[in-house]
Amino acid sequence: MSALDADGVWVVGGAVRDALAGESLDDFDIDLAVADAEEWTRRATQALDAPAVKLSAHFDVWRIPLPDGQIDVWNLPDGDIERDLRRRDFTVNAMAVPLGEFRRGQLAGSLIDPHGGRSDAAARMLRLVSGEAFLDDPLRMLRSIRLEAEGGWRPDAELRAAIRRDAALIDRAAAERRWDELRRIFECDRLPWALRRLEQSGLLDRLFPELALGRGVDQRPVHRRDVFWHQIDAVRWLIALTAHCPPRATRAAAVRRELEPLLSMPDVRAALDAWRVPLRLATLLHDIGKPETRSLDADGSTHFFGHSELGAELAATRLRSLRAPNRIVEQIGLLIEQHLRPGQVNSPGKPPTDRALHRFHRALGEAIVPLCWLFLADSLATAGPKALLPRWPAYAAHVGRIVAWQPQERVSSGVILDGHEIMAVTGLAPGPLVGEIRAKIDEAAALGEVASVDQAKQLARALADASKDSAVA
């Protein structure tokens, strides 16, 4: 990019902040402020052989995507860099360095820092540039919490007070931008701390009003906390049960130790990492259907019939309003709707049968591992670790059996009959019954009850005959 290191091209924002804080840049993600940004972007795309897109109809901002990151180019009216820095969010983001000096690592002599960002970067402190910062862009409130969660940047008291004061403004931020900040927050293992900040500031109630309705909704005698704090606590336990670094707290470490053999299985760890964001969001929202479904027995016991199904619907509606990707919305909905199922896969006091486990695996597929960890976190948040520890080895063994279960090895690829073969041996016409028979043959093969093509055909005929007898009766 040396050919583009012209006068009036400034590196601004997070790249300068992180460089001064001594953080390495894994990706080339950089903001530039440039006089005549459109012309500079045109020349940059030619030099880099990369496309560019204008990000907003209201602001002169262009993005150049690169294989290892991106360049965002902001227009700098009249070349006034200090005017540009005055409109930024935090002092650590309100510094600038000429592009050429930045590329050579020579920040000190050419740094423009009108608001004391350098000293704040050394202290990893977040301070507002202006009291109007949130009026200009309410998303900055979420960004401050994300920076704290991602990198331990600490908001000062004035910033925390400003967020509490202006929390309602977050509704004005574009849904896509809110989702992007939330996604990054939920990727962090400091998520419990971030949720505390979101709750204290009032932002959590604005972002997830369905969650807020759980405050004060009693769940005794089974649960020790109301619906709201139960879900917050479940996230805390989920992080302890899934984070790559085991917890240090004695009780949490004891709980985690029972799961280490499972976590050492590559498929288990890969599934937890792949479902990281949807699993954490589903855990936070898994009981949001309870306030509307609460009923009370004469003895004071509470029930929440249908809360899983309603919760899945409420979560999907909220997440779609935030423009979350459809894939993630579907994953979260599945986890919430099915979050009780791992505890229901066996009869009380008995291990799950192969038949029950086959149906469980067939229905849930790749969601099995995250669903089991949601079940574990939910259980810990319900009873508390002190009450659950004596029974915890049994919980871990139960989940281990679910996760590790495999169908019987099939003797040949022809054991499972397709629909055409089933119709040929039974004389059935196309219809739902053919699919039902195929599913039962599949189950029988998985359990080792069918070991040849002939046996599969015999079972198909028997099932078809039984269906005809039932229809006549």
In a domain, 286, yes or no: yes
Same domain, 200 and 240: no
> The domain that contains 75 carries what CATH number?
3.30.460.10
Q: Is residue 331 part of a domain?
A: yes
Residues 186 and 195: their CA atoms lie apart, in Å, by 9
CB half-sphere exposure, 391, CA atoms < 13 A:
12
Q: What is the pLDDT of residue 413?
A: 44
Q: Which candidate, 312, 342, 341, places its Cα nearest to that of 329?
A: 312
With 0.95 as the threshold, say if the pTM is over it: no
pLDDT at 429: 87
Which regions of 176-325 does DSSP assign to beta strands (E)? 295-296, 302-303
Residue 90 and residue 118 in one domain: yes
Percent of the chain having pLDDT more than 70?
A: 94
Domain membership of residue 216 (yes or no) is no
pLDDT surpasses 80 at 3 = no
The 3-state DSSP class for residue 422 equals helix
302 and 430 fall within a common domain: no
**Which of 75, 98, 127 is where one domain is finished?**
127
pLDDT tens-digit series, residues 420-433: 888 888 888 888 88
Average pLDDT over residues 370-390: 95
Q: Is the pLDDT score of 4 beyond 80?
A: no
Give domain status of residue 170, yes or no: yes
Instruction: Answer yes or no: is 84 within a domain.
Output: yes
Asked whether the beta carbons of 90 and 127 are under 8 A apart, the reply is yes
> Would you say residue 56 has pLDDT above 80?
no
Do 12 and 88 have their domain in common? yes
Could you tell me if 115 and 149 lie in one domain?
Answer: no
Question: Given the structure tokens 């040849």, which residue do they identify?
Answer: 452
In the predicted structure, residue 222 carries a pLDDT above the cut 80: yes
How many domains does the chain contain in total?
A: 4
Q: What is the pLDDT of residue 326?
A: 97
Same domain? For 84 and 199 the reply is: no
**Quick one: 201 and 90 in the same domain?**
no
Task: Give CA–CA dist 290/288, Å, rounded.
Answer: 5
| pLDDT greater than 60 at residue 58 | yes
Does position 300 have pLDDT exceeding 60, yes or no?
yes
Alpha helix positions (H), 30-137: 37-48, 81-86, 99-103, 117-122, 133-136
Boundaries of domain holding 248: 226-404
The pLDDT tens digits for 109-163 are 889 999 999 999 999 999 999 999 999 999 999 999 999 999 899 999 999 999 9
Q: Do residues 203 and 240 share a domain?
A: no
